[in-house]
Amino acid sequence: MWHFLPITALLFSLSDRTFAEVVQSISDCDHYLINHTPPHVPGILENGRILNQNRYKIICQTYRNRRRFVTLYDVQNKIPVFSAFRFVDQVDRKRPKTYWKIEPQMKNYTYQASNKDYKANNTFDRGHIFPSSYASSKEDKESTFTLTNIVPQAESFNKGSWNKMEMCTKCVMEKYCINSSGGTEGFVVTGAQPSLNSMLNRVNVPSALWSAFCCYSAVRGAWIASGHWGNNVQDESKHKYLETMTLENLQHILGMSNSEFVMFPGTKCPLTTTVTEFYPELKNCPCPPTVSGSITSPPSHFAFIFPLFVYSYLHWVSC
Ligand SMILES: *[C@@H]1O[C@H](CO)[C@@H](O)[C@H](O)[C@H]1NC(C)=O
Ligand SMILES: *[C@@H]1O[C@H](CO)[C@@H](O)[C@H](O)[C@H]1NC(C)=O
Ligand SMILES: *[C@@H]1O[C@H](CO)[C@@H](O)[C@H](O)[C@H]1NC(C)=O
C-alpha cells in the first residue's frame, strides 16, 4: 500500500515548477472558500472533515509556487468531487496554450487519471471542473489544466449547454458580484456526481456535473446565488440551456435522505432565489431566454397562456 508521506518530504518542484500540495485538512487551503468553510458533502466531507481519508484527498492546487484553488479528489474514481475557487477580475482573457499536468504528489498513476486514460476519445472531452475561462491571470488559467481538475465530459454537453451556463454565470458575476470595496469577487463550487459503473479506461464517467456560485452584490445591496445541474450526456439540441435553480433545489438533488448537502455553510447565500431576473439585463451573454423574469425552458403553452388568463381575470375583476 502506497501512503502519502509527510508533506514536507514531498514538496519537490518539477522543471516547470508545478506542484499540487496534498494537504491533511481543508483548513490548510481554505482561502478560496466563502467564510473559509467547505461545502458539507454527505458521507464524504462533513463539518470540514474527510470521512474516508484513504479515498478522498484535498489538493491545494499550486502552480509556480502560488496556491490557486482547492480540489477534493476521489482517488478511487479518479475524478474530483469538487473544485472551489474565488472569481475575481479577469487580467487575461485568452485560453492559454498549455499541456496537461500531473500532480507530482500523486504521481503514482494507480491513484490518478493519466493522459492515456483520456487519449483519443471523441465521445468524451476533458471537461474542466474549475474552468480556465474563470481564472484571472495567464498563470491562474494554466493552473486549471491539471488532470485532477477534469472529468470525462460528453463532448457536445461540454461545448454546448454547460459552456453557455459557464459564460452566462460569468457575465452575472462580472456585473453583479462587486464587493463593498469595489472589487469583483464571487465564490464558485463546481463538482461531479460519479456514475455507478460507467468508465473511460480507469476513470469514472460522472453521471452529472453541477455548479453553484454565491457573492455579495454591493450594487444590489444583497447576497445573490444560483445553481445548475446537467446530466453528462450529449446535448440533444444546439439550443439546449441548463435550467438555473435555487441552491435549495441543487442541495436537494445532491443530498442523501439522511444527510443534507450544504453548498455554502454558515453564510448569507440565499437558498430560495436565483439570479434569472438579471438575465434580460445582460447583453451578449448566452443566458437562457426569459419571459417576464421566468425561464421558458421547457417552453410550455401553460407558461404563456396562464399569465394571459391571470391578466384577463384581473382586468375583469378591476372593471
Ligand atoms: C503505486 O501504488 C501501487 C498500489 O499501492 C503499488 O503496487 C506500486 O508499487 C506503486 N508504484 C510506485 C512506483 O510507487
Ligand atoms: C473585494 O474583492 C477583491 C478581489 O477583487 C479582494 O481583493 C478584496 O479583499 C475584497 N474586499 C472585501 C472587503 O471583501
Ligand atoms: C470512448 O469511450 C467510451 C467509454 O469507454 C467508449 O464506449 C467509446 O467507444 C470510446 N470511443 C473511442 C473513439 O475510443
Please name the residue whose Cα sits nearest to atom 1 of ligand 3: 121
Cα distance between residue 317 and residue 319, in whole Å: 5
> Which ligand 2 atom sits closest to the C-alpha of 89?
5
Mutate to test the pocket of ligand 1, among 108, 109, 112, 114 (most ligand atoms within 8 A of CB): 108
Q: 180 CA distance to ligand 2 centroid (A)?
A: 8
Q: Domain segments of the chain: what residues?
A: 10-318
> Which ligand 3 atom sits closest to the C-alpha of 123?
1
Cα distance between residue 230 and residue 238, in whole Å: 15
**Residues 12, 19: contact at Cβ < 8 Å?**
yes
Mutate to test the pocket of ligand 3, among 118, 119, 124 (most ligand atoms within 8 A of CB): 124
Calculate the alpha carbon distances from 15 to 18, 114, 146, 182 in Å.
8, 19, 16, 38
C-beta 108 within 6 A of ligand 1: yes
The single-letter DSSP state of residue 237 is -
Cα 297–150–83 angle (5° rounding)?
Answer: 80
Return the C-alpha cell found at 237. 439540441
Mutate to test the pocket of ligand 1, among 110, 111, 202 (most ligand atoms within 8 A of CB): 110
In this structure, which CATH number among 3.40.570.10, 3.40.50.300, 2.60.90.10, 3.10.180.10 belongs to the domain 10-318?
3.40.570.10
C-beta 13 within 6 A of ligand 3: no
Number of C-beta neighbours around residue 147 at 10 A: 21
Residue type, 136: S
C-beta 123 within 6 A of ligand 3: yes
- Tens digit of each residue's pLDDT, the chain (319 residues): 334 333 323 333 333 344 567 787 888 888 889 999 999 999 999 999 999 999 999 988 888 888 899 999 999 999 999 999 999 988 777 777 776 766 655 655 566 788 888 886 779 999 999 999 999 999 888 888 888 899 999 999 999 999 999 999 999 999 999 999 999 999 999 999 999 999 999 999 999 999 999 999 999 999 999 999 999 999 999 999 999 999 999 999 999 878 899 999 999 999 999 999 999 999 899 999 886 544 544 444 444 444 444 444 444 444 3
Q: Which residues line ligand 2 (CB under 6 A)?
A: 88-89, 179-181, 183-185
> Which ligand 3 atom sits closest to the C-alpha of 199?
5
Please name the residue whose Cα sits nearest to atom 12 of ligand 3: 121
